[in-house]
Structure 1
Amino acid sequence: MRERTLREQFYRGGTPMRWHCFLLYVLLPLQILMWLISIPAVFTQQEYLRWTEFEWISEFNGVCTVVILCVLLAAELGLACRAWLGPCAIVAAQGALVISYAVNIIAGVVLGTGDVFIWATAGQLLCAALFGVLNWIYYRKRRALFLLEEDGGRQCADMETDAAGLPEREGSYYFAPPPVQAAGAAVAAEERRVCGPLDAPERGARRGAPVWLAAALGVLCLGLAAGCGILGWQSAGAAAERESLAAENARLADRVERLEAAAGVYERKLTAYGNTVDRLEEENQRLSDLERVYYLYKNSIGYLVEGSQFYHTAECAVFLSADAYWAYNKENCARLGYSPCPLCWGK
């Protein structure tokens, strides 16, 4: 009864809880669902960065995903139970998001992932920071609603004591009231016993949340939605690009294999051609030597045969039909009185 009375006083006093209900029943469940859906993307990133020097990024994102999921679940449970753990968990989740986005921005700059990804992540970082700060301000002003559950109704008793005109207490003892106040307190207690619990005096209507706060929260929600959309678009584009690059890589690897096989065949042919060239060069050298010998025998040597006054070449029919011959150079043959054979030297 006391808690109900105090809650009614808070609601009548102008403390809006619409954002609390929206956060509890709509936004936090959607965020939890979004992070659950993003788990396969973390595994895909880990597979993409495996065996690289940036593998730690996927591991860090996996740890952040698990931590943020646990903190968001704690925030949902805390808000549902009206425990101060809920607002603290919301701020902690946004802090973890800010750290995760900051690390991903640095990694994106190092990896050169592109300006679109970096600016989208920077926008998500600012949205997470603004979301955490605004929620902290919002719940700090309404902390009394959470203290109702934590203090077990002690503040309700204090406020009803004030409403009944009783003196305040210090610790577990009341101050000794003056006789007039004691009489007034007795009358008020009797009225309460007969008429039921009295509500606190009506206070002036408090102002609701500032317009800029509502506008900022709306912009924040739109920014979060846009960031999620951009991130999904980037993820889909990156997945498609990765598949295209994987197919291109497989095609190039197959082509490299075929080129390496062809290079092996060409290398074997080149070796065979080199051996053939060496053999032909040796044959050419031998033929050159034979040519020089042939030139020497043909143009410098004269053959004398018995019964002939001419000196002949090695190809002359007279020389070939002779049984014996003498070989001299042409100058000696001329000095011996022999003349060149008109049959062979005249050709």
Structure 2
Amino acid sequence: MNVECDRRAYLGLDVVFASPRIRALLKQAEQVAATNAVVLITGESGSGKEVIARAIHHHSQRRSKSWVDINCTALPEHLVESELFGYERGAFSGAEASKAGLFEIAHEGTLFLDEIGDLDPRVQVKLLRILDGAPYYRLGGVKKVNVDVRLVTATNQDLKAAAGQGRFRLDLYHRLSQIRLSVPPLRERREDILPLAAHFIQTQRAGLGISRGAALALEGYEWPGNIRELRNVMIRAAVFAQGGEITVDDLPEEFQQDGFSASLVNLSMLGEAERDVIAQVLEKTGGHQQLAAKTLGISRRTLQRRIKSYGLCVERNALVRVGSHAG
């Protein structure tokens, strides 16, 4: 199945999309990049927030300088401050040598703080001062550090609500959201599902396709884990697929029902009753279910469910009865 899409690369990260919403969002990122405004990127986990952050750096005047990124949940709370702001030798047990923080490393470049909503409250205060232009000390330091850094942050939380609950500083929220960009979840831009799926497949097995039934199943799924979940599903399917294309049977169990529902929608678009279409194909194939499933573009498992659901009886490889709809 050939899928038309746009492809771009930001700092070595491939971006594949077909939806107008992502195209418009990347255009906004390019416009924002021309400024030094602090940017807050919001969206569900796995929706592609880092792509937008990288696009901002890529199009900015700082693109030849450092790109530094960190997930605020990736480090224990007691290490976040030392990683961001650095420390001097002897500042704490184990600090055997001085170390520059990520702000210093990103000097004249871009610092991306992912999952900013999980930042320790004490660090939030120090971050606010830096955003206001104040120099800071490394941990255990006696000499102030001045940095010139473009800050881009991202979160899957509602920071304004978190501020109302006392979990996030309201003044920091306002400072971080000078420009706010929102990344829509994958279920709200279904045009991107098949291009992304094809891209992930090709990273594992070049030339492997996607069957019509599998494509319908992928497009009909809600993708609570967004692009990250899609990548994992397609890599697994590509590894274990037996033929030249991925079928519904190669997808996880939760996709089987989605595949059957989406396939029925497609069958109904042919202008005939779903039951009659299935019955006609079974008759033409002499009741050969595997061949009928291939003709319909669905898996054999899906076809068998529909045979039972619609009261179709197949015996000795022949369609012998068309019963009433079983519901």
TM-score by length of 2: 0.19
TM-score by length of 1: 0.19
Question: Which has the larger strand fraction?
Answer: 2
**Higher RCO (C-alpha under 8 Å, 6+ residues apart):** 2
Larger radius of gyration: 1
